[in-house]
Structure 1
């Protein structure tokens, strides 16, 4: 599959089976500069995304926006079969079949939406058509996959309902770590340290570091930098603030360190990111 973290040249679809304890070649936590539609075909898994833990079961979809770090746990003894669809905003929204308002109102929330069991066979057949088209990869595949993606989302609008529940397996440690993740998100612009946050939570810094990694897939410092860089990317695209001012407002005391960290994460310098049309936030 020809998918990189930074860009894709068409819609891509793949299928894989994940087992309890399975380790990826890619980092457990990752993000893309494009959308990902995740479908749980069988068994179940748990997602950490934007300070939430979401449980997914057979027939569940989750739409993951660009630049959103996510982490998946496979804890069931039954292998989980999942299908991923990677696409850009322009691949779906065309103001004819699916317009911007429909997309924002129905698909932009980070919630699981479920296909009733009576319709899962129909959805699975449609996804199989997309997998087949992805493998065919001829001169017609790009346009065909766009049509199939639009049809899939129209099915979802008609058939799916949102599931608003947290995983049954969540425990008090997970809840504590999610609270701390939200605290980091709300206070990214402050001089946070692992020791300070651990003291605030009444935990040892070694315990916090270990449990935070288990729950979120990231160490404390990685998550803090991710949140800060994500906020910086938004400000680069949406404001006229100087790069130094953005760095300082996002909690970076050293603008050179910020520039290096930003380029390592996003593949572009802050200046080039701001100039790039890809830096525009999808509306």
Structure 2
């Protein structure tokens, strides 16, 4: 399942059970999930290989066995140059764990649902074994889909939260998000919404009332990529979806994704994906 968007609008699971567990094995040694955020809770569990994981302002060198909690609305990304990379993702909206009645059990969940309390980005070392065991049971239930598996997954997630509460692992969230974090989200969402347009550093700087020099420096520092590289990543991800899900020609897709030159589109696509657009369409179907 691909999540390479800034604000992720992909629906996980089903309307009646909006939770998903899946395993990622990259198609190419060079792999990235670009900077994005969503309103669901996400847990990442490394099985093998290495990756660079950025969550908020923190960057980690992730290895097999590492666990990460990605709270709702936290900007995050994954970069890897490892063909052996395998990791598991558990994603769910916290409100899906809520109880119908406002009893004491629900009172424990409300700070998480209202985003005034956060999971720690990385669990304490002494917590990793029991958390890994719970996640293994969740993944098994999701894969087997035996009768009542939805109830099992929900119960295990509640058990995870209850145990973290007992151990006092949750963190209070500052009342107001940083101005820079909010501005970065606005920039990235703007790029996502207008990626088919003629976006340039001057137009972005003007839109966000910044000098071109400051915008370029700020964008590289905040995302780890220069503006053109990030824009190409967004455009190529959209192109991949169109190649898989439509019968549009490569030329039509290139134009729809903001490329005025099909030769440039082909070159960028091959650099990022390791094959031509036509080869990708054939392999993806």
From 140, 154, 161, the counterpart of 1:150: 140
User: How far has the Cα of 1:175 moved from its partner?
Assistant: 1.7
For each residue in 1:15-74, what CA deviation from the matched residue of structure 2 results, as whole angstroms up to 9, or x when unmatched? xxxxxxxxxxx9xxx616xxxxxxxxxxxxxxx8325699x9xxx72589xxxx974432
Aligned to 2:269: 262
Aligned to 1:49: 35
- Counterparts of 1:44-193 in structure 2, within 5 Å, are 49-50=35-36, 61-62=43-44, 71-72=54-55, 73-74=57-58, 82-83=66-67, 86-87=86-87, 124-126=128-130, 149-150=139-140, 154=153, 156-160=156-160, 170-193=177-200
From 214, 217, 233, the counterpart of 2:224: 217
Aligned to 2:5: none
* SS across alignment from 2:191: helix
User: How far has the Cα of 1:272 moved from its partner?
Assistant: 1.2
* SS across alignment from 2:67: strand
Q: How far, CA to CA, are the matches of 1:168 and 1:216 in structure 2?
A: 24
Q: Structure 1 residues 214 and 170 mapped into 2: Cα distance closer, same or farther (>3 Å)?
A: farther
Q: Structure 1 residues 192 and 127 mapped into 2: Cα distance closer, same or farther (>3 Å)?
A: same
TM-score (norm 2): 0.52
- Structure 2, unpaired ranges of 5+: 1-23, 47-51, 69-84, 97-112, 143-151, 162-169
- Structure 1, unpaired ranges of 5+: 9-25, 33-47, 90-102, 131-144
Q: How far, CA to CA, are the matches of 2:251 and 2:198 in structure 1?
A: 17
Contact 2:198/2:258 (CA < 8 Å) preserved in 1?
yes
Contact 1:188/1:224 (CA < 8 Å) preserved in 2?
yes
Q: Structure 1 residues 183 and 156 mapped into 2: Cα distance closer, same or farther (>3 Å)?
A: farther
User: How far has the Cα of 1:186 moved from its partner?
Assistant: 0.3
Q: How far, CA to CA, are the matches of 2:125 and 2:53 in structure 1?
A: 28
* SS across alignment from 2:43: strand
- Counterparts of 1:238-253 in structure 2, within 5 Å, are 238-253=245-260
For each residue in 1:204-246, what CA deviation from the matched residue of structure 2 results, as whole angstroms up to 9, or x when unmatched? 1110111112222222111111111110011111100001100
Contact 1:188/1:251 (CA < 8 Å) preserved in 2?
yes
Q: Structure 1 residues 148 and 200 mapped into 2: Cα distance closer, same or farther (>3 Å)?
A: closer
Contact 1:53/1:166 (CA < 8 Å) preserved in 2?
no
Contact 2:44/2:88 (CA < 8 Å) preserved in 1?
no
Q: How far, CA to CA, are the matches of 1:194 and 1:52 in structure 2?
A: 26
Q: How far, CA to CA, are the matches of 1:122 and 1:158 in structure 2?
A: 19
Q: Structure 1 residues 115 and 123 mapped into 2: Cα distance closer, same or farther (>3 Å)?
A: farther
